Structure 1
């Protein structure tokens, strides 16, 4: 008797599962299958299908069966999908199959309704694999897992998936190849992703070998016992490459090899607490061994790939910091991040870490998603990005490095990873620090500055206050005191923002006449400074605001607030006058352009976007398409001063063009460095105090209270950095034209050492430098800012390569990086600081460059052959023995109380003294001695001589000293300060005097008297002045002057020794000299005649000077 289909189903189910379970399953499924199913399939298929359906649930909505149907000769390969409640649309399935290298034109769908009314969908696809036969048993599990991951969005649906069947690779192994391809696209690799996919599909053996190489290098279970395996696999790949005929495919495969070999770490083999790997992949790359990367090349970068997001974190050095941003540039976000890292490098020249930058893009936001949905996705992807970074970052426990688990590391310990808020992540510091604590990361809540236990930059207004130090310095050069004088301001930003909002609250003398952001344009042609100030305060303190929040009744006649969505904005007579335009109406973008070009005192940028370029640049060169129609050229600006509170408001060439048209501007990284400076102080304090918390010497609450109590001290330290940088920028610009040859040589030197790339930093080429010199034009402030930053970076690097941070005296610079209350209470903890060497190096490099200028170290290297280490030591001694650091601060306190030119002359006198003294210590070789003892020896004796020397001067020298003292007193300096600064022209001689007295055990005071009186008697001061006043340019002329000055020092010391050796205690210095002259009458008369000839000569050259000094030495030797 023949059984019906349903009777067969019952028998088979009981036969397979037993009576009880088989009967239950039969009751559940006997009426579930539609008649079409019964027509299409035998009962054996139903039994298999029931097994798959039983695995389905709301938590597991998909099961797969991939099999051969031998009875179907035409289409033996089948894919069956079992779907919970609703079927996958065919339009979704077909691309997935195609990307797995399967084709189908035959789907048989069936709806199975269970006894509980639950619907199950079965889709049966007869598929064709075009690349030949498949060994189903070997690849079935790989295929099913890959298909499932693609379906659930855990693996991307692209052509790389063809490698599942083509190369028998798992979906995660394919993820590795996809990650490298995504990276290649971000670094400008010219081949498309589709072409890269096809290359690997065309060369499946090589694709498989690439994964074997990755596995051999990074699988912790393999690397320890198979050290030679990577080299063997690489050789196999290279041998196989010989058979690849396509040059393009050869290039792609070789680039994969480059990237795998450049991979220092990966989290691929890490398994989470849930027993699963992460749904993202992190790789750390040694960027500087990867060919053809865009410049500048980072030291390291971490690339994090996920189907939901991609991100990159670039670091210039091992100790580096910078923000993580949510980028909207999916196609080239690494280009954006690289540009920001480059800017961060120069900005961070003032702080301990160098520049870093990170960013990520979202890839899986549904169309028309709500703002809340998007924000939730941003936060989730930000968290995964942070985890991706920390997965492969070293930790520190009990002063020991802890390597990340299940990670093979091809680099040295590298535990410093610090992030910061940025565009789109401004409020995420607590999120990042929460993950840091989740990983038990050594930095704890110092991982991300700010947040609930950090410094609130907006509340402190620190970035804007720092920018105003630059603004004030610019106006100082215009003899305008912005704290007393009203200035007209145009701005980029709105009052809700940190930088713009705080910037416009700096004082009550700001007349904000126009501003704009991405929503509105604000115009107030003639505001009342005080009334408008308080209205800005009100808006700033609102929870949310825009320019529409401004009380329209307080806007002056003819002004208003206008939406940028308007087609046209009518211009009132007052607006026309303010903007100096004739148009009766302007489109919003044209009105913004008019605001940017307005003839105001100050243009203050506190917004986002690039609004000024050079006329030589195209809009495409700028890389900010959203503002192309608002942008103007640097030579079109009519403001007197620019303050760059925001980043990237100008292109560098735009700044230079504006500066060449007599505009006063630095750069964004100079003006707005206070934010990153403040964050760095916070991180360094937290590292210090967290160590105390761990030692139970400080509770967490007391640590937090202490940090809060230090807010003002930290702000003072930060703002002094801004003040110092703004000052040295102005002093450098003041003498830029005169120093053009020096700067040209310095640029070439930095380039030759590979420290600086002129093209990347937009510095002038040789032709332009020559043209500017001929025209009497020097480097502009923006260009000098680049040199300033790279000088600090280079000097800091050299210090870190030396033993300077270990020097007991120089090590005291560690204290200057911390608030005074910390110095007193936590001296021991400071000495154990994890970043002690870096902090000392930073303080030293900033101090020497801010006090002595951009080219100080370079000049001394060229002039003396000394190393950076030797120059730093010599400078430290020279500045300490005279106490010039505090004196410079004193002079700075007289801003707007004394004329700027007089102030700069005072600072020049001090710098000249330190320059001469540093050279002196280098020449005399004393710097190898203990610095503390050396400083003590000279300091005590200089204090004795400082009072004496003014009284030892005579004739022209004395008159000059008195005139300078009187000039400085008239300028407003106290008598004591004026006298001290004026004396610095001569106090340098004290070094020679101390040297002579010490070596020969002479009385110091009498030696000083003889030194000055003998110099006066044989007219050496005139001789020195002739050498100093020679203005001939060129390297050899400079060396000639310096050599002559050194020879003169040697001669005058020898002369003093010769006279003092004849010392009769009863003779005064003057009588002693006269006796010496009488004893050496013939030689002295010869010298006197030579001087007379020099005096009467119309043109004195170096040959005459060298002959004269030779005669002087002959005179001295003859007397001995």
Structure 2
């Protein structure tokens, strides 16, 4: 495309035809009125009502808008009139979108505020001069963002804009829990965030379909922070949102690639104490098969982590093939059954679940016991109900679905019990059999689909198994509309309505914190970060082995055994700590006041009773607390982490790994009581005593 300008006249020559309305609307956005317009063979001669100033910038903006590289109606013309450069304009647009994610104000309001106070935007050191409280907040946060930007990729002149912020310096001005380090990526097709609690942090990258994607990522980062208590890095989470409503898989991959590449622009590519060198990612919702894409980008860019950058790729541990998350979750939930002399992996256990046999956590989970009696399952598109399942037939059929990646609608009808059915969730109502009516205690053949799902979640079974994304349970006191997962608002139930003996959270955020506390007063539950920790644990092993060029696949069995140790020990420790008094809980909570994010997370529980979810969160934050406090280093603890023949001498995280091993050891053995009269010397004494008595055996 070529654009020529002479005073009030401009000529546009385009390879592809442009619509007259497109040209008129765009020029009107620049506050020009068209006097004449002649067209011939993709050539457009236009005369406007006044001379065109700043021709070079005007040409760049007009050309980018006509080519679709920047939105045609985003008030860029105002910034053009205020003599901002094209780079400044694009950066301000990115900042405005970012601010709309961290504040309650719309992008439109933020942009209008930028325009109204353009002098301040050019020079944020000026005094904020407005009586409007909302405008004042926008300008205040804008100044803090600009002041705390650590690094950008603007000098690279790429199609993505990325910047990294030291957000801990102003997160007291924001609501709720926030990260300490935050990166934002903007592109004409998408935008995304990456949130970290410290320089050494890790977590998955997801494709978010929520307009308030940062809120979703922030909630998950909080969970990741205490889930990561058992591994080396702190919590992190990333995600990107595509502006198209229904992007193709190829479009999602392209946006993911651009997002990852832009984030790497913000990383230090050399190791050092003062460097921000540690950046690793993992698969998550919508990106489960993208690890190799990320690793290819990292290798091409020369990032020294190479294929340790993204766990789970072709040279790493496939969570789905190993079934590690489900195995860890069921191992964790087995504590509930062991205490009533049953075994989750052998005995007949009745189950209602959320998920599909195609899924990793649900599919693998429902194959780990041939005697699981699956009564019902709710997936994103279907509802499976088998009132009186034949245990052997149903296991074989679930196995067939999993191995062939099939949904519930492909379930062989001959394997179903009388009255069983598979319903399409897109229908508003369902016609149910007498057997299903009896199962859910409903006196009509017709039932609303949402009501059917709710009744299934309330069934009296041995285990309610969450194996897919979504928040399905709130506390009775919580307001449904305020729960962040809007998609499942119509099927969400109250915790006091659950009749299952126990809940296993194979997926994150299946229940709110308050819901866990409410349910735990009559049922058995741990915490999502306790139940599904095995996935993040094995990924961390993979990264740490790859960083010393070890063949990770060679050590699969050893690593799985090490990972499952935490899924055995942590629920056991919670059971032992259930004997604590309320006074102990208060004392231990007070000790943890200075742990990052603890206060915000803990107060959502609103209880100091010795209930399992309360004890679980205390256990994990005790580990975070002790990892921070340990100030000694002994390489013998590295031997406990790595397979015996591994040479770990040059590992860049030797100190962090040893501290994590010590932390898990002493807290799993001694529980929350370690916080009483806490000192580093107390940890050393415990380690010595443990070696003498060999308590772990």
Q: TM-score scaled to structure 1, two decimals?
A: 0.60
Give me the whole-angstrom Cα distance separating, in 2, the residues matched to 1:290 and 1:123.
51
Conservation of the 8 A alpha-carbon contact between 1:514 and 1:523: yes
Q: Residue 234 of structure 2: which of 354, 368, 382 is its match?
A: 354
2:559 paired with 1:714: yes
Conservation of the 8 A alpha-carbon contact between 2:100 and 2:110: no
Q: Residue 93 of structure 1: which of 20, 23, 41 is its match?
A: 23
Conservation of the 8 A alpha-carbon contact between 1:763 and 1:783: no
- Residues 582-603 of structure 1: CA distance to partner in whole angstroms, max 9, x if unpaired? 4433222211111100011111
- Could you say if the C-alpha distance between residues 617 and 95 of structure 1 is closer, same or farther in structure 2, counting changes exceeding 3 Å? farther
Q: Residue 622 of structure 2: which of 788, 791, 800 is its match?
A: 791
- Could you say if the C-alpha distance between residues 589 and 247 of structure 1 is closer, same or farther in structure 2, counting changes exceeding 3 Å? closer
Q: Residue 261 of structure 1: which of 147, 151, 156 is its match?
A: 147
Deviation at 1:780, TM superposition (A): 1.8
- Residues 873-926 of structure 1: CA distance to partner in whole angstroms, max 9, x if unpaired? 11111111111122xxxxxxxxxxxxxxxxxxxxxxxxxxxxxxxxxxxxxxxx
Give me the whole-angstrom Cα distance separating, in 2, the residues matched to 1:504 and 1:246.
57
Conservation of the 8 A alpha-carbon contact between 1:758 and 1:764: no
Partner of residue 196, structure 1:
110
- Give runs of aligned pairs for residues 642-681 of structure 1, distance below 5 A: 642-660=503-521, 662-681=522-541
Conservation of the 8 A alpha-carbon contact between 2:191 and 2:241: yes
Conservation of the 8 A alpha-carbon contact between 1:580 and 1:599: no
2:42 paired with 1:162: no
Give me the whole-angstrom Cα distance separating, in 1, the residues matched to 2:131 and 2:321.
64
Conservation of the 8 A alpha-carbon contact between 1:602 and 1:642: yes
- Using CA pairs below 8 Å that are at least 6 residues apart, which structure has the higher relative contact order? 2
Conservation of the 8 A alpha-carbon contact between 1:325 and 1:359: yes
Aligned to 2:539, the other structure's residue is in SS state helix
- Residues 635-674 of structure 1: CA distance to partner in whole angstroms, max 9, x if unpaired? 00111011111121111111111112x1101111110111
Give me the whole-angstrom Cα distance separating, in 2, the residues matched to 1:884 and 1:535.
44
- Residues 380-413 of structure 1: CA distance to partner in whole angstroms, max 9, x if unpaired? 11111101110120113xxx55xxxxxxxxx930
Q: Residue 499 of structure 1: which of 353, 358, 361 is its match?
A: 361
2:613 paired with 1:782: yes
- Residues 775-807 of structure 1: CA distance to partner in whole angstroms, max 9, x if unpaired? xxx3321121111111111111112xx2x12x3
Structure 1 stretches lacking a partner, 5+ long = 1-61, 69-76, 112-118, 211-233, 271-276, 402-410, 690-702, 770-777, 862-866, 887-1120
Partner of residue 106, structure 1:
35
Aligned to 2:175, the other structure's residue is in SS state coil
Conservation of the 8 A alpha-carbon contact between 1:143 and 1:164: no
- Could you say if the C-alpha distance between residues 123 and 247 of structure 1 is closer, same or farther in structure 2, counting changes exceeding 3 Å? farther
- Give runs of aligned pairs for residues 813-962 of structure 1, distance below 5 A: 813-819=637-643, 823-824=644-645, 826=646, 829-854=647-672, 856-861=673-678, 867=679, 869-886=680-697
- Could you say if the C-alpha distance between residues 83 and 615 of structure 1 is closer, same or farther in structure 2, counting changes exceeding 3 Å? same
Deviation at 1:627, TM superposition (A): 1.4
Aligned to 1:562, the other structure's residue is in SS state strand
Give me the whole-angstrom Cα distance separating, in 1, the residues matched to 2:596 and 2:184.
26
- Give runs of aligned pairs for residues 946-1025 of structure 1, distance below 5 A: none
- Could you say if the C-alpha distance between residues 764 and 199 of structure 1 is closer, same or farther in structure 2, counting changes exceeding 3 Å? closer
2:393 paired with 1:531: yes
Conservation of the 8 A alpha-carbon contact between 2:513 and 2:604: no
- Residues 1047-1100 of structure 1: CA distance to partner in whole angstroms, max 9, x if unpaired? xxxxxxxxxxxxxxxxxxxxxxxxxxxxxxxxxxxxxxxxxxxxxxxxxxxxxx
Structure 2 stretches lacking a partner, 5+ long = none
Q: Residue 741 of structure 1: which of 583, 601, 617 is its match?
A: 583
Partner of residue 180, structure 1:
95
Conservation of the 8 A alpha-carbon contact between 1:472 and 1:482: yes
Give me the whole-angstrom Cα distance separating, in 2, the residues matched to 1:484 and 1:200.
64
Partner of residue 267, structure 2:
393
Deviation at 1:106, TM superposition (A): 2.9
Deviation at 1:176, TM superposition (A): 1.5
Which of these two proteins has the greater Rg computed from alpha carbons? 1
Give me the whole-angstrom Cα distance separating, in 1, the residues matched to 2:428 and 2:132.
55
Deviation at 1:107, TM superposition (A): 3.8
The structure whose residues are more often strand, as a share, is 2
Q: More deviation in 373-382 or 345-354?
A: 373-382
The structure whose residues are more often helix, as a share, is 1
Give me the whole-angstrom Cα distance separating, in 2, the residues matched to 1:850 and 1:574.
46
- Residues 168-188 of structure 1: CA distance to partner in whole angstroms, max 9, x if unpaired? 222111112122111111001
Give me the whole-angstrom Cα distance separating, in 1, the residues matched to 2:16 and 2:691.
82
Deviation at 1:91, TM superposition (A): 2.8
Partner of residue 13, structure 2:
82
Aligned to 1:103, the other structure's residue is in SS state coil
- Could you say if the C-alpha distance between residues 452 and 732 of structure 1 is closer, same or farther in structure 2, counting changes exceeding 3 Å? same
- Could you say if the C-alpha distance between residues 851 and 798 of structure 1 is closer, same or farther in structure 2, counting changes exceeding 3 Å? same
Give me the whole-angstrom Cα distance separating, in 2, the residues matched to 1:830 and 1:379.
35
- Give runs of aligned pairs for residues 244-323 of structure 1, distance below 5 A: 249-270=135-156, 277-291=157-171, 292-323=173-204
Give me the whole-angstrom Cα distance separating, in 2, the residues matched to 1:385 and 1:286.
20
Aligned length: 696
2:384 paired with 1:384: no
- Residues 733-772 of structure 1: CA distance to partner in whole angstroms, max 9, x if unpaired? 2x14xx2101012223323x3545444444454xx65xxx
- Residues 904-952 of structure 1: CA distance to partner in whole angstroms, max 9, x if unpaired? xxxxxxxxxxxxxxxxxxxxxxxxxxxxxxxxxxxxxxxxxxxxxxxxx
- Could you say if the C-alpha distance between residues 573 and 195 of structure 1 is closer, same or farther in structure 2, counting changes exceeding 3 Å? closer
- Could you say if the C-alpha distance between residues 764 and 333 of structure 1 is closer, same or farther in structure 2, counting changes exceeding 3 Å? closer
Deviation at 1:247, TM superposition (A): 6.0
Partner of residue 592, structure 1:
453
Aligned to 1:885, the other structure's residue is in SS state coil
- Could you say if the C-alpha distance between residues 98 and 782 of structure 1 is closer, same or farther in structure 2, counting changes exceeding 3 Å? farther
- Could you say if the C-alpha distance between residues 197 and 625 of structure 1 is closer, same or farther in structure 2, counting changes exceeding 3 Å? closer
Partner of residue 576, structure 1:
437
Aligned to 2:179, the other structure's residue is in SS state coil
What root-mean-square deviation, in Å, do the aligned CA atoms of Structure 1 and Structure 2 show?
2.1
Deviation at 1:301, TM superposition (A): 0.8
- Could you say if the C-alpha distance between residues 885 and 309 of structure 1 is closer, same or farther in structure 2, counting changes exceeding 3 Å? same
- Could you say if the C-alpha distance between residues 149 and 581 of structure 1 is closer, same or farther in structure 2, counting changes exceeding 3 Å? same
Partner of residue 328, structure 1:
209
Give me the whole-angstrom Cα distance separating, in 1, the residues matched to 2:655 and 2:222.
24
- Could you say if the C-alpha distance between residues 585 and 253 of structure 1 is closer, same or farther in structure 2, counting changes exceeding 3 Å? closer
- Give runs of aligned pairs for residues 693-732 of structure 1, distance below 5 A: 706-732=551-577
Give me the whole-angstrom Cα distance separating, in 1, the residues matched to 2:605 and 2:500.
24
Give me the whole-angstrom Cα distance separating, in 1, the residues matched to 2:490 and 2:108.
34
Give me the whole-angstrom Cα distance separating, in 2, the residues matched to 1:251 and 1:351.
38
Q: Residue 462 of structure 1: which of 296, 308, 324 is its match?
A: 324
- Residues 177-212 of structure 1: CA distance to partner in whole angstroms, max 9, x if unpaired? 12211111100153x3333333333344444345xx
Give me the whole-angstrom Cα distance separating, in 2, the residues matched to 1:65 and 1:589.
60
2:295 paired with 1:433: yes
Aligned to 1:110, the other structure's residue is in SS state strand
Q: More deviation in 711-720 or 632-641?
A: 711-720
2:19 paired with 1:145: no
Partner of residue 208, structure 1:
122
Conservation of the 8 A alpha-carbon contact between 1:750 and 1:756: no
Q: TM-score scaled to structure 2, two decimals?
A: 0.95
- Residues 824-879 of structure 1: CA distance to partner in whole angstroms, max 9, x if unpaired? 2x3xx31221111111111111111111012x222132xxxxx2x21211111111
